[in-house]
Amino acid sequence: MTGLADDPDRRSRLLALTLQSLVREQFGVESFTAATGLSRGAAGVADDAAFVLVDEQPERGLGAALAWASRHQLRTLHVIASEATGLLARRAEAFDLDIQVWHRDDRSLLPAVAEPHPTAAEVPVEHRQFESLIVESGATVSIEHGVLAGEVRGLEVCRAVTDPLTGVPRLEVGVGEHDREAFGMIHGDTPTTESLNRIVRIVDAHRTPGADPHPLNRLGAERALRDRVVADPSIAGLRVLTTAPPPVPRPNLKDSIPCVGVGEAADGTPTVAVFSTGIDLDVVPFAADARAALGDDHDLVIVVPERDASPVTKRLADMLHRPARVLGVSLP
């Protein structure tokens, strides 16, 4: 029998019915108009308010909900989700819109409480010994949420870890967790220095601007964009830029997640820059969250390839209490 995951239309209808039932039961609404056009769940209108049930990747669902509500010119938005509601509530506070986030527990809805940003984690002292090795290999040291890694043009090629069985720290070489495991099994007898130098050369050749399309230059395109702006901040109208951690840890290397930098504009104004590629509806909530974590008094610029500076991204950026600038850059 075909499951819901294999039948998107059936799943969409079920989510719409679930949302309709929740709105009528929990808000006492008699008339509810279900709608289509939401990729991550279901949406509808009642009493001039938008109701959105976020089902897929709820932690990245606020942007889609805002885009849907603003497209229908609704100034009140109810966001319903079963997970990540504390994160959604925190990000909702950045917008000049009446947004209420609800935590769904089966048939009940509870007001979500905004959760604080994660406490900054320190890199374990025993991992610091690998920094010089990373630099000597030609990679760039990256530190995010207590994780020490090495990157080549924005792509992670190694990571410091502690063996869970022996407690011994080591530097694993490879692109992503599974690649590091495979690399270790195949090249386990090769000295780490030699292995890292080899992968740095390979990745650098594939991620050099103008290189032929390859999986190694499709991964982490947003981080490659940041790397280029760090090297030449004038591309984004900045005087200086350094990398900065995202507001929450990255789940993995395979998903395209915006990345962050902090620096100064040409006139010296402190600025948070967030980098993204493609049309990412959630980049604006993510960017606002990054600014709140790094410095709420900073200006905010969202840097994307010129083709990705979409009207919907600009519309959401204007909806922030402190609007952000969306900058489309032309790259060779």
Q: In this structure, is residue 213 part of a structural domain?
A: no
Round to whole Å and give the CA distance between 17 and 31: 13
Q: Which residues pair with 50 in a beta bridge?
A: 45, 77
Do residue 189 and residue 253 come from a single domain? no
pLDDT score at 252: 78
The 10s digit of each residue's pLDDT in 9-59 is 788 888 888 999 999 999 988 888 887 667 678 999 998 899 999 988 999
101 strand-pairing partners: 79
CATH code of 55's domain: 3.40.1350
237: left (phi > 0), else alpha (psi -120 to 50), else beta? left
Backbone angles phi, psi at 201, to 5 degrees: -65, -40
Greater pLDDT, 109 or 179: 109
* Average pLDDT over the chain, rounded to an integer: 90
Question: Domain range spanning residue 242?
Answer: 221-329
Distances (CA, A) of 240 to 261, 268, 272, 283: 10, 9, 11, 22
pLDDT at 107: 87
Q: 76: which 2 tokens? A: 């009140």
Buried/exposed 136-159: b ≥16 CB within 10 Å, e otherwise: ebebbbbbbbebbbbbbbbbbbbb
Same domain, 247 and 191: no
- Report if residue 280 sits inside a domain: yes
Please check whether residues 84 and 130 belong to one and the same domain.
no
Query: Does residue 128 have a pLDDT over 50?
Result: yes
Answer yes or no: do 85 and 12 share one domain: yes
pLDDT tens digits, 52-82: 999 889 999 999 999 999 998 998 999 999 9
Whether residue 17 sits in one domain with residue 61 = yes
Distance from the Cα of residue 326 to its chain's centroid: 16
What pLDDT, on a 0 to 100 scale, did the predictor assign at position 133?
Answer: 95
Check pLDDT > 80 for residue 114: yes
- In the chain, which ranges are E strands? 33-35, 41-46, 49-54, 76-81, 98-105, 108-111, 140-144, 147-152, 155-162, 169-173, 238-244, 259-265, 270-275, 299-305, 325-329
Query: Is pLDDT at 323 greater than 50 in this prediction?
Result: yes
Same domain for 166 and 264, yes or no, is no
**What pLDDT band is residue 256 in, cutting at 50, 70 and 90?**
confident
Residue 232: what are its φ and ψ, rounded to 5°? Answer: -140, 80
According to the model, what pLDDT value does residue 1 have? 38
Domain boundary (111, 135, 161) is at: 111
